[in-house]
Amino acid sequence: MSGTSKNGPAKSLTIHQDAQIMIDKAREEGITTVWDRLADQQPQCGYCALGLSCRNCAMGPCRIDPFGEGPQKGVCGADADVIVARNLGRTIAAGSSSHSDHGRDILEAFGDLARGQATGYRIADEGKLRRIAAEVGVVTEHRTVEEVATDLTNVLQEDYGTRRGSLSFVARAPEVRRARWDALGITPRGIDRENVEMLHRTHMGVDNDYVNTLLHALRTGLADGWGGSMIATELSDVMFGTPTPVMSEVNLGVLKTDQVNIAMHGHNPLLSDAICTAAEDPQLVELARSVGAKGINIVGLCCTGNEMLMRRGVPMAGNHLTQELVLITGALEAMVVDYQCIMPSIVDVAKCYHTKIISTSDKAKFTGATHVPFEPEHGAKIAEEIVRIAVEAYPNRNHGRVRIPGQPVKMMGGFSIEAILGALGGTPKPLVDAIAAGSIRGAVAVVGCNNPKLPQDLEHIELTRRLIENDILVLVTGCAAVANGKAGHMVPDAAAMAGPGLRAVCEALGIPPVLHVGSCVDNSRIMVLMAALADYLGVDIDQLPVAGAAPEWYSEKAVAIGAYVVASGVTTVLGVQPPVFGSPHVVGLLANGLESVVGATFVVEPDPAKAALFIRRHIESKRRGLGLSCFEPETLGIDDNESAHTVPVGAAVGA
């Protein structure tokens, strides 16, 4: 069945009007979307939802009966604990591998650039190159950029292998944190190594102790956050520029009725940066005019979009659940994809229009799409070819079917840690002072995806709004950033939505209360900031008044992020249940046991009001631990909607 309203009205599926209009258009035109397919999948498998199914070998597949009546062991003898832990470990390895392989692609292109073998790229931030190189032990004085870049490439390549005791950037974590990782045996040694070891351990008959498996799962996550993702972020900054605050726009209204529209979707900035450059090429702009368009309009989706927005201010069409809807506008000449989070369904949806789907990574082909393999050596030329294909599709557009809904919303991006510290005058001191004074209670990273099981963006927006109202600074990445952008939370004027303390700080600095820190690999930036704050205060990360949240997560990458954020000492609230509830032991470890091990835990709370309340209590208890003025956590939440500044006088106690 396609195009029906078996899911209920569009406004129950997404909170945004642009998306609602497109869902209705899809239904009118008989086009199937993610929400229809989710309905078709009901009921989804209960064993899998609990993590209790295993198909790791051919004696299986096996499942454990959660009610204790049916089988309690797989054919090999694995119980619920082992099966749930193994499944979670593999999920984290898949997520970590995705980020890290993206990092490798950037690193290889960076190596090509260092050797003079990449076209269309340059070292955009030589200062950062020399800073990172010196940090990992490369000699930088009296040496050319190329020499330094080549040596840096070699050092970081080794981080992927098996020859290290610890990854290069792990040295950025506070010493106390590193000592804790060492004591637990979870210091990440090699990026690929930890991922491979996780696959090995979860083969039948290897690691049959769920605690041991989960500890390695944390190490696998750490290899992502302080390894692959961090390499992706840092080298992208060196090659494409370290982001600085920039204004842009967001939602489907960024498409133009009279221009060639190209949407860049996926995660890797190598290609999208080259496309942005090609779209300004006078010959291609002239070609667009010759086919009747007024110009070439590049827009972003998901994290490729975040990369372009952070560095170039390129407008953002939407987040994960917008990827089909942008096609349904009928106004897109091409959707150019690299990898990750790209639904195979876009090829089917695009067939209903004139839109070309252009895949570019040999790792990520889509049957029915046009494949233009991207190689950094010929980056500029390939980008031109892709833009040309899009321009040539413009005459096929059926203008009668085009519907571009709504007006774009302004949003600010570009808050790299360098930019945040820059805005603070070069040190964390003003932020620490504001936190110590209590005008800012703490900081929360709201990150992650959309998931069609929840109304699109509702949880992101509700949670963030409650946090900023209570003087908690919010840092956002990935699809959470786009959600907040659409909601108008990411302009300096949004300071008016914040509590009085946060509002005053934002107004003094001219920044929004919700800061766009970048794509999902850029969650590594948040780790760098946490380390800087902890070092400045002389404490460990788990003592900071901070938390993480992934309200609408769906992807394996999000689980890897959660693993390294928690292993780094930041308690993280998930809005969607992970498939672990088939093992009370695993749940107990993740929700409680980890507290004494890494000083942070996972919390599952789908209700954004309750999640906000939990986070506020958590932050106040961390403030108390640091001897800062705090509201007694127990006094919060008598009314879920209350804001800190409305807490009765007397609830606040001095240090």
Q: Is 76 in the site for ligand SF4 (CB under 6 A)?
A: yes
75 binds, among ligand XCC, ligand SF4, none (CB under 5 to 8 A by kind): ligand SF4
The distance of closest approach from Cβ of residue 75 to ligand SF4 in the complex, given in angstroms and rounded to an integer, is 4
CA–CA distance, 198 with 195 (Å, rounded to integer): 5
C-beta closer to ligand SF4: residue 78 or 191:
78
Q: What are phi and psi of 402, to 5 degrees?
A: -75, 135
454 binds ligand XCC (CB under 6 A): no
Stretch in the footprint of ligand XCC (CB under 6 A) among 282-290, 327-335, 407-415, 553-561: 553-561
Are the C-beta atoms of 564 and 594 separated by less than 8 Å?
no
DSSP SS3 for 546: strand
Please say whether the beta carbons of 317 and 255 come within 8 A: yes
Angle, to 10 degrees, between the axis of helix 80-114 and the axis of helix 229-240?
Answer: 20
CA dist., res. 395 & res. 393, Å (int): 6
3-state SS, residue 263: strand
For residue 137, the minimal CB distance to ligand XCC (Å) is 31
> Can you read off the two tokens belonging to residue 515?
């800061």
Q: Is 60 in the site for ligand SF4 (CB under 6 A)?
A: yes
CA atoms within 13 A on the CB side of 91: 23
Task: Mark the segment that binds ligand XCC (CB under 6 A) among 174-182, 492-500, 551-559, 640-648.
Answer: 551-559
Query: Cβ 569 to ligand SF4, closest distance in Å?
Result: 33
# chain residues binding ligand SF4, by CB under 6 A: 14
Q: Are 624 and 630 in contact (CB under 8 A)?
A: yes
C-alpha 175, offset from chain centre: 27
Stretch 162-201: interaction string toward ligand SF4, x if CB under 6 A: ----------------------------------------
- For ligand XCC, which residue of 223, 404, 558, 611 counts as binding (CB under 6 A)? 558
Among 51, 74, 245, 448, binds ligand XCC (CB under 6 A): 448
Q: Which residue from 178, 226, 180, 175 is spatially nearest to 538, judged by alpha carbons?
A: 175
If contact means CB under 5 to 8 A according to the sort of partner, which of ligand XCC, ligand SF4, none does residue 478 touch? ligand XCC
Instruction: Rule CB under 6 A: say whether 271 interacts with ligand XCC.
Output: no
Position 551 contacts ligand XCC (CB under 6 A):
no
Sign for the CA dihedral angle at 9, 606, 214, 532 comes to: positive
Vertex 240 angle, CA 236 and 243, to 5°: 85
Question: Could you say whether residue 55 binds ligand SF4 (CB under 6 A)?
Answer: yes
**Which residues are CB-neighbours of 618 under 8 A, at least 6 positions away?**
547, 571, 633
Contact positions with ligand XCC (CB under 6 A) in 283-322: 302-303, 319-320
Work out the end-to-end distance of the chain between its first and last CA atoms, rounded to an integer number of angstroms.
Answer: 62
What is the C-alpha separation between 475 and 485, in angstroms, rounded? Answer: 12
Residue 56's binding partner among ligand SF4, ligand XCC, none (Cβ under 5 to 8 angstroms by kind) is ligand SF4
Q: Which residues contact 622 (CB under 8 A, 6 or more apart)?
A: 442, 543, 544, 545, 546
Q: Side-chain half-sphere of 389: how many Cα atoms within 13 Å?
A: 20
How many residues lie near ligand XCC (CB under 6 A)?
Answer: 15
When CB distances are held under 5 to 8 angstroms depending on the partner's kind, the choice from ligand SF4, ligand XCC, none that residue 14 binds is none
Which of 341, 497, 505, 611: binder of ligand XCC (CB under 6 A)?
Answer: 341
Binding site partner of 61, from ligand XCC, ligand SF4, none, Cβ cut-off 5-8 A by kind: ligand SF4
Dist. CA 360–CA 128, nearest whole Å: 29
Site for ligand SF4 in 624-643 (CB under 6 A): none
Nearer Cβ to ligand SF4 (78/472): 78
**Binding-site member from 61, 127, 395, 588 for ligand SF4 (CB under 6 A):** 61
User: Which positions touch ligand SF4 (CB under 6 A)?
Assistant: 54-57, 59-62, 74-76, 78, 83, 204
Residues found near ligand XCC in the complex (CB under 6 A): 267, 302-303, 319-320, 341, 448-449, 478-479, 519-520, 555, 557-558
